[in-house]
Amino acid sequence: MLGPERPLLLSRQDRERIAYHEGGHAILGLVVPGADPVHRVTIVPRGQALGVTYQRPDADRYNFPESYLRARIVGMLGGRAAEELVYGTKTTGAESDIEQATQLARDMVTRWGMSDRLGMVQLAPRENPYLASRSGLDGFGGSRPFSEDTARVIDAEVLRIITESHAEARRLLETHRAALDTLADALLARETLDEQEILTVTGLSRIPAEDNGRAVGLPT
């Protein structure tokens, strides 16, 4: 959970940037095929977050196609992409988004065989795949079972997925810039919008999934 509301006194400029950031997430939740539905978006600070876009699937799912994972990464990068598009600058507000997107992209490459360059080879353990970043043990109890060359390919593939997803987020937000502006204005006026209000304000509809792609079961 994100915690209770925080009574922060934000400037008009900060509130506007947060509105565009969350609006970027929300717009991509509508226009990226197969993205989880956007149930609410708010620019009311909660916990450590200055704004939140709430998305959840329509039903419980335990097997996820590659296209869905890509859609999630594109959506995660929507806040940064919106800030870049509107302001031409970057802020620290995308830290959590970048962390989550990088972790998901690395899972795709090292655990689920979704890199054509590396193939269907397990390159991270099933449990605690990011132990390396916390303990220096590489998640394998002391040493990585692959070469430095392979490590470089892993990093390159993760970067490729992130870069492609960021470019797609920018492209879609440029296409739907009018809806993004309208949604940001509505958030500044009302602070919180539910699903129907988001659809009414933007004039957009959810786009269903295009295909099933390669599927994986995400850990619960």
Tell me how far apart the alpha carbons of residues 9 and 6 are, in angstroms, rounded to a whole number: 9
| Token pair listed for 87 | 């302001």
Residue of 25, 81, 79 whose CA lies nearest to 202 = 25
Instruction: Give residue 159's identity as a one-letter amino acid code.
Output: L
Residue of 216, 196, 192 whose CA lies nearest to 206 = 196
Q: Does residue 92 contact residue 42 with C-beta atoms inside 8 Å?
A: no
Tell me how far apart the alpha carbons of residues 138 and 46 are, in angstroms, rounded to a whole number: 34
- Enumerate the active-site residues: 22
